[in-house]
Structure formats: C-alpha cells, structure tokens
C-alpha cells in the first residue's frame, strides 16, 4: 500500500505543479493517471479511502469529470462491501458534484437514493443532507412550494443531533423559500432566530447581510398588511436576536 | 474466396456496448425510406488497428472514422472513432445546461478532455459507462451515441446512394501526415471554405469589396498553377461529400420522425446534443494537434491567445492551417451547425417566429421549452464558434495576396488576428436573448 500510495502521490503532486503553470490538460492527464493507479490497491477499503481523497483533489483542481469518476468508484466499492451507510454519504457527495455542473436531474435522483438509505438505516445526518440538497434543487428550479416541507423535515431531524453547519444551511434556505412564497412569516422568522443567535458564527458576512435583507423584507410585508402595529415592539418580539434591544 | 464479412470477422468489435449501440442505430436507420432504397446494407464495427496490412489493402478499409464500401453495400466504422464519439457524448451528457457544462468553461477544458480520451480510450469510456449506470442515465446516453452514429453512417449511406466511395466521414488531421506546405493547395482549400462559409452567412469581411478584387486575382493566379483535372477532382469530391451530408440530414430527420420513442421532443434534442458533442471533440482534437504540430512547445498551454501568437509568426502558419480543413469535406462545425439547424427547423417553430419574440433562454418548469432552449443554445454556440475557422479561412485565402505585397514591400507585414476563447463565446451565449 505504501509503495502504491507513493506512486499515486507522484502524479497528484505533478498535477499541482502543472496547474500552477496553467498546463490544464497535462494536469488533468496526471490526475487521471493517479486515478488509474488506485486500481492496484488490493484492499477495497484502502482503495475507497484513496479514491475519496483523489475525488476531493480533482474537484478542487476543477476536473469535475475525474472527481465524479473517483466518487463513482467509491460508491461501487461500498455497494460491493454492503456498507450501505457509507455509500449513502458518498451518493450525497456525488449528487453535489452533479449539481455543480448543472445536472439537477441526476443530482435529485442520487439525493433521493441517499434519502431512502438514510431513512432505512435510521441515519438522520444522511437524511438531513439529502432533504436539504433536494430542497436546494427545488429552490434552484424556483419550486419553493416543494422545497418548504423538505426543509421542515430536515429541521425536525436536526433536533436529534448536532450539526451547526447543516442547520444553518437548512434554516437559511427555509427563510429564503418562505420569503419567495411570501407566506407564513411567523414560521420563517422563528426559523431565522438561531441564525442571528447561536448559529451566528456559521454565517459569512455576506450571508448575514443577505438574510438580514430577507427578514427586513418579511417584516415590511407584515407591517404593511397589519397597519397600526407597534413596529418596535413587534420586531423585538418577532426576532429579538436581530431587532431586540 | 472469403466474403468481406468472413474476412473481417477476426477484427470485428467484441465490445457489447458498442454492438448494442450499433443495433439500436440500425433499428432506427432501417425505418428511413431513403436507406431502404439500398437493397441491402451492412454496418460493421471493426478494430482496424488489429487488421493485417494485407486485409486493409484487399478491402481498402483504411479509415480513421467511417467509410462506405460501394461494392459490398457496407459501412465500415472504426471502433477507435466510435470510442471517441462515445467519450465525447458521455462526457457532455454528464452536465446539465450548456452554460453550466464543465467542458465549456474554457478551451483548456476541451483540450483536457481530448488528452484524457487519447490516453487510454477504452479505460476512459468504461469509467464513463460506470458513471452513467450509477447516475441512471445509461439508456438515454446510449440512445444519444446511437443517434450520433446514425448521422455518421447515414453520411456513408449517402455515398452508397450516390454510388461513390471516395471519402471518409470526418475531417481530421492525419497524425502521420505533415501539415500543408503548398501555397496552391492551401489557397484552393481556403477559398472553397471561405466561399462556403460566406454562403451560409459566416463572414468576417467582404474580401472582394475590401481588396477591390485583388485577393481574388491572386487566388485565381495561384489556382491556375494547379492542374485543371486536380481542381475538377477536388470540386467533384467536395460535391460528393456535400451531397452525402445532405442525405445524412434527410435520413436523420426521417429516423427521428419515425422513432419508436414516444417522446420525440427528447429524441430530436438528443440528436442535437450528440452532434454538438461529437463535433466539439473533433474540432478541439484537430486544433490541438495542429497547434502542437505547427511547433508550439509542449510546455506552453494551448489557448486562444497562443493560437493568435502562433498565427502571427509567419504566413506559412496559415498555409499549414489548411490541414485543419481536411481533404474534401465541409468544415466539421459547419456540417454540425447545418444539421442542427435542419433538426431545429423540423421540430420547433423557433425560426418561423418573429425575431422579437424569439428567445434561446428558458428558466421555467416546462420540460419541452427547456429542451428546446438547450438545443438552441448548443446550435448558437456552434454559430459563435465558427468565428475561428472563418478567420482562418479568410486570412488563409488572402495569403497569396499578402505574400505578393510582402515581396513588393521587401519585408513581411505582421498581422495579428485575435481569436475568441471558448469562455468568451459561452459568455456571449449567456447574453443572447
């Protein structure tokens, strides 16, 4: 394994140097060579681990096609080893890669498969990732009505374990989808509260700015529909983490 | 004496996926009334690299792509070529809409695909097959490859119907052949392509008007130095190829119309995608080979800027660039562009719509509108990408005149032509309405 690992490291290192010299095509051939070398790793688990690293390196280098190939090989190994839970998580990464190159149809199919596995295996983390991804795809296709129940399910599952990043993404999506639908501001603002409280550190400055604009818009809509409301009191009670004293 | 089929048996492809694709293509092809004018037709996939030289000589089956054997009513498809097509189609099919495609972010991404595909085509195609099986897109992508193959085979059927078997399907630079060095041959070729591009509206400048006829005068002088029968032969071969292309489009349209598939809207879009993927791969493969063969060192990346620099160096570069236009075919991207336009005219009302109500952008939920917008975007991208070959053909056609002016001046005039990158063209596509 060590010798093969060294053999694989060599084209990976070469690809990094080639990328630095803008030799994109040569770098991609080097990474393909590394991918081919993984076939010599005897232990299927070791091979899967190396493929995972390689998939990340390929994606980072901008070679999604090679990343997809590495990830697909991982899935095939996990399936053969009957390690369904691991496979489910790999399917989610694979789905994200397809989503990144605009193939939402395949991304949806793979996320759905991961969701089925997550549900069958009682793996809430997997189910959350799949639900949220499916909702993101709905939102990308402007299907906000379909996104909302998935995000709610995701949020319910998130109460069973701690995953601040996933929770931040899910809540942010829920707020944005509600804003687009101009519906149930109360629920949306309730979902937004942790984003300006305990999950605040998970948000980038841009995300915080964007979400603040969204909730401000919601508030304006509510106040416009309910004239006579004491703005300060209402805002402080609706979203104290942002508008409180 | 052995029959062609018996003799070719040892080199007939054993790849079951390719055979299934061939059968799928055959089932579509046989529905064409044009194809049925032939009393018989055999399509044989062969691994030509395994063919002994005696076999190649005996049956005259030297092709990098596909060829028609008139006497045997047979179309030979080189397995190596079909792998390239399959890789191109499968790679493009991984992505969604054209503006998000990982292969179209820049020229380097296309060159990278070509290089990866050339490294070990069978291993690469197998990886792509595994990926599509996992993604649940295998059936659709096979149909797409079958439609690409159908177009190539239909072109050869065109030769069979026209009773000529001169050419092969594709325009490729033969790796073993040197680049063009003869001004006369290059001028003849460039002038023919320049005129054809102009005929279809792909025009950089009006050479006649701009040069007050001086370019044409020089072209005619050069053409006079070529034996007349050679010029006639070239014109006849070009006409053969053009006729075969036109029959291929007619056959393709018939097969799409008569397809068993319920959703013909998907079928026509798949055909557009297949043609787009195959010709993009072919063009970038030729371009990469040309730029490298014309002297760009391997450690210099190939891109639009490097092409501009390379073409500025000397008039001989334009003469060499004639190799990019093949022997006697229409230019690769033009034949795809024309085929796609015919499909889109047959299956959409886009071209009959008032210009102000046309759009190639669609972001809504209607699947058919989405499919049409995607096919139109691919079509318009081929229109935009015609810019580089049009520039090459136009500049190439002026080479004789330019050399004359250089001689009069006593020093060469440096002229730099800018070429748009793929990224720039995709960005322009995004701005289209």
**pLDDT 10s digits, B104-159:** 999 999 999 999 999 999 999 999 999 999 999 999 999 999 999 999 999 999 99
Closest-approach residue (CA) in chain B for A62 = B102
Which residue is it, tokens 């054997």? B69
Summarize the confidence of residues B355-370 as an average pLDDT.
86
pLDDT at residue A73, as a whole number = 96
Q: Total domain count for chain A?
A: 2
Q: Which of A25, A106, A109 sits opposite B112 (nearest CB)?
A: A25
Q: Are residues A80 and A157 in the same domain?
A: yes
pLDDT classification of A2: cutoffs 50, 70, 90: low
Domain boundary among A126, A145, A161: A161
Q: Total domain count for chain B?
A: 1
CB-CB contact of B108 with B93 (8 Å):
no
Summarize the confidence of residues A176-180 as an average pLDDT.
92
Q: Which of residues 116-135 of B touch A (CB under 8 A)?
A: 116, 119-120, 123-124, 127-128, 130-131, 134-135
Q: Are residues A169 and A242 in the same domain?
A: yes
**Which one of A15, A17, A25 would you mutate to disrupt binding with B, by most B Cβ within 10 Å of its Cβ?**
A25
Q: Which of A24, A65, A72 sits opposite B134 (nearest CB)?
A: A72
Domain boundary among A103, A127, A161: A161
A-chain residues within 8 Å CB-CB of B363?
142
**Can you name the residues that pair with B69 across neighbouring β-strands?**
B74
| Interface residue B373 vs chain A (CB under 8 A) | no
Report which of B74, B100, B426, B110 is spatially closest to residue B278, judged by C-alpha positions: B110
Q: Are residues A155 and A87 in the same domain?
A: yes
Q: Are residues A157 and A175 in the same domain?
A: no
Burial (CB count <10 Å: 0-12, 13-18, 19+), residue A128: buried
B-chain residues within 8 Å CB-CB of A68?
94, 131
CB-CB contact of B184 with B223 (8 Å):
yes
pLDDT classification of A133: cutoffs 50, 70, 90: very high
Q: Which of A29, A98, A142 sits opposite B115 (nearest CB)?
A: A29
Full DSSP string of chain A = -HHHHHHHHHHHHHHHHHHHTT-HHHHHHHHHHHHHHGGG--SHHHHHHHHHHHHHHHHHHT-HHHHHHHHHHHHHHHHHTT-HHHHHHHHHHHHHHHHHTT-HHHHHHHHHHHHHHHHHTT-HHHHHHHHHHHHHHHHHTT-HHHHHHHHHHHHHHHTTS--HHHHHHHHHHHHHHHHHHT--HHHHHHHHGGGGTTTGGGS-HHHHHHHHHHHHHHHHHHHHHSTT--HHHHHHHH-HHHH--
Q: Are residues A229 and A197 in the same domain?
A: yes
What is the DSSP code (8-state) at residue B168?
B
Burial code (b: 16+ CB inside 10 Å, e: under 16) for B35-59 equals: beeeeebebbbbbbeebeeebeeeb
Residue B384 located in a structural domain: yes
pLDDT at residue B292, as a whole number = 83
Contact assignment for B135 to A64 by CB distance below 8 Å: no
pLDDT classification of B61: cutoffs 50, 70, 90: confident
Contact assignment for A29 to B302 by CB distance below 8 Å: no
User: B67: left (phi > 0), else alpha (psi -120 to 50), else beta?
Assistant: beta
User: B111: left (phi > 0), else alpha (psi -120 to 50), else beta?
Assistant: alpha
B172/B221: higher pLDDT: B221
Contact assignment for A73 to B130 by CB distance below 8 Å: yes
pLDDT at residue B417, as a whole number = 83
CB-CB contact of A108 with A137 (8 Å):
yes
Which element (helix H / strand E) includes B244? helix B228-257
| Interface residue B97 vs chain A (CB under 8 A) | yes
Q: Are residues A110 and A190 in the same domain?
A: no
Q: Which of residues 288-317 of B touch A (CB under 8 A)?
A: 288, 299, 301-302
Q: Which of B116, B302, B363 sits opposite A32 (nearest CB)?
A: B116
What is the DSSP code (8-state) at residue B179?
P
Residue A225 located in a structural domain: yes
The alpha carbon of residue B91 is apart from the nearest alpha carbon of chain A, in Å, by: 8
Closest-approach residue (CA) in chain B for A31 = B116
Residue A62 located in a structural domain: yes
At residue B146's C-alpha, the angle toward residues B143 and B147, to 5°, is 90
Question: What CATH number does the domain containing A64 carry?
Answer: 1.25.40.10
Domain range for A119: 57-161
Closest-approach residue (CA) in chain A for B129 = A69
Residue A33 located in a structural domain: no
pLDDT exceeds 70 at position A195: yes
Tokens encoding B217: 């005068």
A-chain residues within 8 Å CB-CB of B105?
62
**Which one of B87, B89, B95 would you mutate to disrupt binding with A, by most A Cβ within 10 Å of its Cβ?**
B95
pLDDT classification of B262: cutoffs 50, 70, 90: very low
Report which of A49, A114, A127 is spatially closest to residue A84, judged by C-alpha positions: A114
pLDDT exceeds 90 at position B83: yes
Contact assignment for A26 to B99 by CB distance below 8 Å: no
Summarize the confidence of residues B33-46 as an average pLDDT.
94
Residue B110 located in a structural domain: no
Residue A20 located in a structural domain: no
**Which one of A31, A62, A92, A106 would you mutate to disrupt binding with B, by most B Cβ within 10 Å of its Cβ?**
A106
Residue B9 located in a structural domain: no
Report which of A203, A200, A241, A243 is spatially closest to residue A220, judged by C-alpha positions: A243
| Interface residue B111 vs chain A (CB under 8 A) | yes
Which of A163-167, B179-183, B382-386 is predicted with the least confidence, judged by mean pLDDT?
Answer: B179-183
Q: Are residues A145 and A178 in the same domain?
A: no
pLDDT exceeds 90 at position A182: no
Q: Are residues A152 and A171 in the same domain?
A: no
Q: Are residues A80 and A144 in the same domain?
A: yes
Q: Are residues A71 and A153 in the same domain?
A: yes
Domain range for B214: 183-431
Closest-approach residue (CA) in chain B for A18 = B299
| Interface residue A81 vs chain B (CB under 8 A) | no
pLDDT exceeds 90 at position B223: no
Pairwise CA distance, residues B377 & B368, whole Å: 14
Q: Which of residues 16-75 of A touch B (CB under 8 A)?
A: 21-29, 32-33, 35-36, 62-66, 68-69, 72-73, 75
pLDDT at residue B299, as a whole number = 78
B-chain residues within 8 Å CB-CB of A94?
134
A-chain residues within 8 Å CB-CB of B299?
21, 23
Length of chain B: 433
A-chain residues within 8 Å CB-CB of B119?
29, 32-33
Summarize the confidence of residues B42-47 as an average pLDDT.
95
pLDDT exceeds 80 at position A50: yes
Full DSSP string of A169-201 = HHHHHHHHHHHHHT--HHHHHHHHGGGGTTTGG
Q: Are residues A110 and A157 in the same domain?
A: yes
- ipTM metric: 0.90
pTM: 0.91
The alpha carbon of residue B295 is apart from the nearest alpha carbon of chain A, in Å, by: 17
pLDDT at residue A9, as a whole number = 86
Which residue is it, tokens 């006409």? B239
Residue A185 located in a structural domain: yes
Residue B109 located in a structural domain: no
The bridge status of strand B66-69 relative to strand B42-46 is unpaired
CB-CB contact of B222 with B399 (8 Å):
no
pLDDT 10s digits, B247-261: 999 999 999 865 555
pLDDT classification of B324: cutoffs 50, 70, 90: confident
Which residue is it, tokens 């792909």? B202
Q: Which residues contact B39 (CB under 8 A, 6 or more apart)?
A: B73
Residue B94 located in a structural domain: no
Summarize the confidence of residues A109-122 as an average pLDDT.
95
Contact assignment for B112 to A72 by CB distance below 8 Å: no
Q: Are residues A212 and A235 in the same domain?
A: yes
Residue B89 located in a structural domain: no
pLDDT exceeds 50 at position B345: yes
CB pairs under 8 A between A and B: 95
pLDDT at residue B58, as a whole number = 87
B-chain residues within 8 Å CB-CB of A32?
116, 119, 124
Residue B129 located in a structural domain: no
Residue B166 located in a structural domain: no
Domain boundary among A161, A188, A222: A161
């Amino acid at each position: 394994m060590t010798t093969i690992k060294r053999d694989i490291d060599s084209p990976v290192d070469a690809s990094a140097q080639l990328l630095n010299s803008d030799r994109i095509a040569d770098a991609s051939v080097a990474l393909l060579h590394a991918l081919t070398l993984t076939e010599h790793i005897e232990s299927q688990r070791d091979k899967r681990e190396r493929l995972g690293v390689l998939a990340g390196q390929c994606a980072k280098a901008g070679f999604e096609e090679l990343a997809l190939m590495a990830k697909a090989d991982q899935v095939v190994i996990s399936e053969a080893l009957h390690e369904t839970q691991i496979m489910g998580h790999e399917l989610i990464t694979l789905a994200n890669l397809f989503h990144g190159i605009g193939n939402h149809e395949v991304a949806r199919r793979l996320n759905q498969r991961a969701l089925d596995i997550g549900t069958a295996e009682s793996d809430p983390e997997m189910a959350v990732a799949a639900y949220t991804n499916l909702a993101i795809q709905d939102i990308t296709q402007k299907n906000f009505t379909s996104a909302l129940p998935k995000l709610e399910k995701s949020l319910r599952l998130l109460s069973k374990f701690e995953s601040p990043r996933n929770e931040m993404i899910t809540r942010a999506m829920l707020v944005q989808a509600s804003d687009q639908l101009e519906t149930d501001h109360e629920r949306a603002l309730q979902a937004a509260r942790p984003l300006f409280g305990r999950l605040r550190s998970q948000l980038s400055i841009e995300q915080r700015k964007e979400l603040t604009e969204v909730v401000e818009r919601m508030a304006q809509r509510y106040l416009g529909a309910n004239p006579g409301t004491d703005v300060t009191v209402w805002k402080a009670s609706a979203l104290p983490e942002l508008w409180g004293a | 004496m052995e029959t062609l089929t018996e003799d070719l048996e040892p080199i007939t492809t054993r790849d079951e996926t390719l055979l299934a694709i061939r059968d799928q293509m055959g089932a579509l092809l046989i529905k064409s009334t044009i194809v049925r004018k032939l009393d018989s037709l055999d399509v044989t996939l062969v691994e030509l690299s395994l063919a002994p030289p005696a076999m190649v000589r005996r049956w005259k089956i030297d092709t990098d792509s596909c060829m028609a054997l008139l006497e045997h009513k047979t179309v030979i498809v080189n397995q190596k070529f079909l792998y390239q097509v399959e890789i191109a189609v499968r790679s493009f099919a991984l992505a969604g809409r054209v503006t998000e495609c990982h292969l179209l972010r820049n020229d380097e991404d296309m060159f990278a695909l070509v290089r990866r595909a050339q490294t070990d085509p069978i291993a690469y195609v197998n990886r792509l097959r595994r990926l599509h099986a996992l993604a649940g897109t295998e059936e659709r992508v096979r149909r797409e490859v079958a439609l690409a193959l159908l177009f190539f085979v239909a072109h050869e059927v065109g030769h069979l119907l026209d009773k000529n078997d001169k050419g092969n399907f594709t325009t490729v630079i033969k790796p073993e052949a040197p680049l063009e060095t003869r001004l006369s041959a290059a001028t003849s070729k460039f002038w023919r392509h320049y005129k054809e591009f102009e005929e279809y509206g792909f025009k950089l400048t009006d050479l006649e008007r701009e040069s007050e006829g001086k370019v044409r005068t020089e072209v005619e002088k050069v053409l006079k130095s070529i034996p007349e029968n050679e010029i006639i032969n070239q014109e006849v071969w070009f006409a053969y190829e053009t006729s075969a292309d036109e029959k291929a489009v007619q056959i393709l349209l018939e097969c799409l119309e008569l397809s068993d598939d319920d959703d013909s809207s998907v079928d026509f879009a798949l055909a557009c995608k297949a043609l787009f993927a195959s010709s993009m791969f072919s063009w970038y493969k030729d371009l990469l080979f040309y730029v490298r063969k014309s002297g760009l060192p391997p450690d210099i990346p190939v891109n639009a800027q490097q092409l501009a620099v390379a073409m500025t160096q000397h008039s001989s570069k334009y003469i060499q660039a004639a190799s990019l236009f093949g022997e006697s075919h229409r230019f690769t991207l033009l034949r795809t562009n024309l085929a796609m336009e015919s499909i889109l005219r047959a299956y959409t009302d886009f071209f009959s719509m008032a210009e102000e109500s046309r759009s190639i952008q669609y972001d809504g939920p209607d699947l058919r509108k989405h499919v049409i917008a995607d096919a139109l975007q691919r079509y318009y991208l081929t229109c935009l990408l015609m810019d580089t070959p049009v520039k090459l053909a136009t500049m190439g056609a002026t080479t004789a005149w330019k050399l004359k002016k250089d001689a009069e001046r006593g020093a060469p005039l440096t002229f730099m032509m800018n070429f748009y990158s793929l990224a720039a063209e995709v960005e322009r596509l995004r701005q289209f309405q």
